[in-house]
Amino acid sequence: MLFNADRRIALDRSSPVPLYYQIYRIISDYMKEPGAVGRKLPTEEAMMKAFDVSRATVRRALQALESSGQISRSRGRGTIVTNNASQEQLTTIRSFTEQMRLESHVPITKVVEVKKVKAGPDMARILHVTEDEELLQVTRLRGNEAYFPLALFISFLTSRSNLTGEENFEGSLYELM
């Protein structure tokens, strides 16, 4: 087994961080240990007792670990560590919203500013527009229910995006366009 589920593992029940995510982080930390890949995790029952949580909470943590490619679950074999938690999948590019949902998080966005700006020489070259063409600059803070803010996004949108600046920019820009 990867960690001793026979002993109680304390969660911070007064924290705004959801219990399933606290469990996710604890298990991820154990998976950083050398030799973790290929080892079995304790059963759901054992984790329910160790963390003093419901089966649904344990399953949500395991689903997040499985979605991120860190574990593999199968009947009869149990739950196996398939990847070190410290390794990242760098071959797939996802939107922030898609990545948060993949990790079982609720993406949160706060729009800081939406304004029209003129493209300077560098921006015109990068975006393949003419100098002084009007762009829509959208500045947003993004995070999730556990951590906010995680990132500051400043996006420059050309007229090809068909956005006017009146839209609700609190969701995914990819979905909006």
* DSSP codes, 32-94: TSTT-TTPBPPPHHHHHHHHT--HHHHHHHHHHHHHTTSEEEETTTEEEE-S-TT----S---
CATH (residue range 105-176): 3.40.1410.10
Give me the average pLDDT of each 10-residue run along the chain (177 residues).
72 90 89 82 92 95 89 87 57 77 86 97 95 96 90 94 92 84
Q: Give the pLDDT confidence score for residue 76 in this predicted structure.
A: 81
- CATH 3.40.190.10 describes domain 1-92: no
For residue 86, the one-letter residue type is S
55 touches 8 (CB < 8 A): no
Q: Give the pLDDT confidence score for residue 2 in this predicted structure.
A: 59
Q: Give the pLDDT confidence score for residue 87 in this predicted structure.
A: 46
- Tell me the two tokens of residue 76: 């009869």
Q: What is the dihedral of CA 98, 100, 101, 107, to 10 degrees?
A: -100
Decide: pTM greater than 0.85. Answer: no
Query: Three-state DSSP class for 109?
Result: strand
* DSSP codes, 116-135: EEE--HHHHHHHT--TT-EE
9 touches 46 (CB < 8 A): no
Q: Give the pLDDT confidence score for residue 86 in this predicted structure.
A: 41
- What residue spans define the domains of the chain? 1-92, 105-176
**Distance (Å, rounded) from C-alpha 167 to C-alpha 164?**
7
